[in-house]
């Protein structure tokens, strides 16, 4: 049977406990897997991949002239999270996102947290994604991050830690929804009996969030999704979400700003747009204000936002909150704005701009993970224990040259999860990206993207670098 020879190698495993017994919430899955042969499973995967290719559930690989599309590698053994664990995640994320939104409001208004010296002013004002253009600009409902994807990992004792917040344009939610559809085909009978919570309400909740932030609480606002275009790697997701929400998917060239209002070009003429769910980074939004060479944006859009005539989700300037240096201060923010202790812990972080921390970092490079403050997708990273001497030296120079741009963390631990490999089922490292929507309420999609590093021993889970994904099952609380 598939799992008979599975070895946890004494690492924290999602499915098996320290005594190598299957954890109770995985019992049903284990039983189901035991009835399946490797051939049966392989056949199901093959069918699924065909289905994915036929439906175009793909991401585009950059740097390939022909715009090759690949299927996001999908592992059929689902990750299961019991209700009590999920409750902690949900509570912790609501708390965290609330604090981040208050922080952004504060940073772009009175800056109390800086004046009170809870966070050093220079950290915020020097952040690459800080947007002085938005100081004292009110955004609808005072919400900045409407859609957040927060990456979680599990510590050696199994407790969840926040690895990073993605508060700019987090992607991946369509895979959550598609993976679920795929899993229903692999294990059609398991869903009912396992008590898996549905992820179907995401699009409706997202639309509700967008409508909620319409300028001047306008009823029946026109919402659109702004995409960089169909060559973008996440285009599938953009069109998937637009379709699920029943809103237009537009490119920059479909929009035009006239007298401070945004319109889209339709066959009937110009139609005013109230809310833009933008999947374009700040830098490319408006060539009049940010990158002049941007061909994806809409000239005049920033002014329309500043004048309060159109709402953006997420707001401009949220990057200051998911900066990796800011990350080190989120626990202090929670204390400051909410007067609470953080529910979810995070990874201890050394800041290269702090002289004392920098000394420690430079002395311990081979043991640490160094990250550039403003990069995402696993780029600009040094994994000390796996790096060559040259790489370490290169990062030493980079850090000395630009300390503000680097942070270091001890090597974090990623839990492992049984994963189908070529020959058998082996443990692979996983993380978890739940999606948080902040509108009238804060919704957490009961599920999330479990990313898995398909390479043995690797902890790089990014799809651009050899990561795959699993369906994530959040269970209903057990019935009394």
Residues engaged in binding another protein (CB under 8 A): 53-56, 87, 91, 94-95, 98, 102-103, 105-106, 109-110, 112-113, 116, 142, 229-230, 235, 239-240, 242-243, 248-254, 256, 258, 264-267, 269-270, 287, 295-296, 299, 336-340, 441-442
Nearer of residues 26 and 103 to another protein, judged by Cβ: 103
* Closer Cβ to another protein, 65 or 397, answer by number: 65
Angle at 409 between CA 403 and CA 412, to 5 degrees: 155
Distance of closest approach, residue 222 Cβ to another protein, in angstroms: 12
Give yes or no for a cis peptide into 464 (omega within 30° of 0).
Answer: no
Q: Give min distance, CB of 332 to another protein, in A.
A: 11
Q: How many CA atoms lie within 13 A of 480 on its CB side?
A: 0
**Which of 207/452 has CB closer to another protein?**
207
Nearest distance in Å: CB 387, another protein:
38
Contact call for residues 366 and 386 (beta carbons, < 8 A) = no
The CB-of-14 to another protein minimum distance in angstroms stands at 24
> Please, are residues 307 and 319 in contact by the beta-carbon 8 Å criterion?
no
Query: Which CB, 118 or 362, lies closer to another protein?
Result: 118
Q: How far is the CB of 290 from another protein (least distance, A)?
A: 13
Least Cβ distance, residue 26 to another protein (angstroms): 25
C-beta closer to another protein: residue 20 or 243: 243
C-alpha to C-alpha distance for 111 and 103, rounded to whole angstroms: 9
Question: Which residue lies nearer to another protein by CB, 105 or 360?
Answer: 105
The dihedral sign for the CA sequence 253, 258, 260, 263? negative
State the Cα–Cα distance between residues 307 and 134, nearest whole angstrom.
Answer: 11
Cβ partners under 8 Å of residue 189, min gap 6: 32
User: Contacts by 28-34 with C-beta closer than 8 Å and gap 24+?
Assistant: 28/190, 28/193, 28/194, 29/77, 29/78, 29/80, 29/187, 29/190, 29/194, 30/3, 32/187, 32/189, 32/190, 33/1, 33/2, 33/3, 33/77, 34/1, 34/2, 34/3
Minimum distance, C-beta of residue 214 to another protein, in the bound complex (Å)? 17
Question: Rounded to the nearest whole angstrom, what is the least distance from the CB of residue 449 to another protein in the complex?
Answer: 21
User: How far, in Å, CA of 41 to CA of 14, rounded?
Assistant: 21
| Closest alpha carbon to 163 in 401, 366, 330, 363 | 330
In the complex with another protein, the residue whose CB is nearer, 192 or 269, is 269
Reduce the DSSP state of residue 444 to 3 states and report it: strand
Task: State which residue, 13 or 237, has the beta carbon closest to another protein.
Answer: 237
């Amino acid at each position: 049977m598939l799992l008979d020879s599975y070895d946890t190698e004494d690492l924290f495993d999602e499915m098996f406990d320290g005594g190598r017994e299957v954890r109770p919430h995985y019992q049903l899955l284990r039983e189901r897997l035991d009835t399946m042969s490797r051939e049966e499973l392989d056949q199901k995967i093959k069918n699924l991949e065909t289905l994915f290719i036929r439906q175009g559930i793909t991401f585009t690989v950059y740097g390939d002239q022909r715009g090759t599309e690949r299927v996001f590698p999908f592992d059929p053994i689902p990750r299961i999270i019991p209700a009590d664990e999920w409750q902690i995640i949900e509570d912790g994320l609501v708390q965290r996102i609330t604090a981040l939104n208050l922080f952004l409001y504060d940073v772009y208004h009175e800056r109390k947290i800086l004046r009170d010296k809870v966070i050093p002013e220079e950290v915020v004002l020097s952040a690459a994604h800080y947007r002085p253009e938005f100081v004292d600009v009110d955004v609808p409902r005072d919400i900045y991050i409407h859609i957040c994807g927060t990456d979680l990992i599990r510590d050696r004792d199994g407790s969840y830690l926040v690895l990073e917040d993605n508060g700019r344009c987090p992607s991946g939610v369509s895979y959550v929804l598609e993976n679920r559809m795929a899993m229903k085909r692999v294990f059609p009978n398991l869903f009912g009996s396992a008590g898996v919570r549905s992820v179907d309400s995401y699009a409706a909740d997202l639309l509700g969030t967008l409508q909620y932030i319409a300028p001047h609480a306008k009823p029946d606002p026109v919402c659109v999704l702004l995409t960089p275009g169909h060559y973008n790697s996440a285009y599938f997701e953009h069109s998937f979400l637009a379709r699920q929400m029943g809103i237009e998917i537009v490119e920059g060239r479909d929009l035009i700003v006239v007298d401070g209002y945004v319109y889209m070009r339709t066959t009937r003429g110009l139609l005013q747009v109230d809310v833009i769910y933008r999947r374009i980074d700040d830098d490319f939004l408006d060539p009049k204000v940010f990158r002049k060479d941007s061909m994806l944006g809409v000239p005049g859009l920033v002014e329309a936002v500043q004048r309060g005539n159109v709402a953006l989700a997420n707001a401009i300037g949220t990057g200051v909150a998911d900066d990796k240096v800011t990350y080190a201060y989120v626990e202090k923010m929670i204390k400051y704005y909410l007067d609470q202790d953080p529910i979810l812990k995070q990874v201890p972080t050394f800041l290269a701009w702090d002289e004392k921390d920098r000394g420690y970092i430079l002395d311990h490079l081979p043991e640490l993970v160094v990250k550039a403050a403003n990069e995402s997708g696993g780029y600009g990273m040094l994994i000390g224990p796996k790096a060559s001497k040259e790489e370490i030296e290169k990062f030493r120079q980079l850090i000395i040259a630009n300390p503000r741009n680097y942070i270091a963390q001890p090597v974090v631990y990623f839990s492992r999860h049984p994963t189908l490999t070529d020959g058998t089922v082996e443990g692979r490292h996983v993380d978890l990206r739940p999606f948080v929507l902040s509108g009238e309420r804060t919704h957490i999609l009961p599920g999330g993207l479990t990313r898995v590093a398909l390479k043995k021993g690797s902890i790089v889970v990014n799809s651009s670098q050899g990561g795959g994904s699993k369906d994530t099952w959040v269970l209903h609380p057990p019935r009394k």
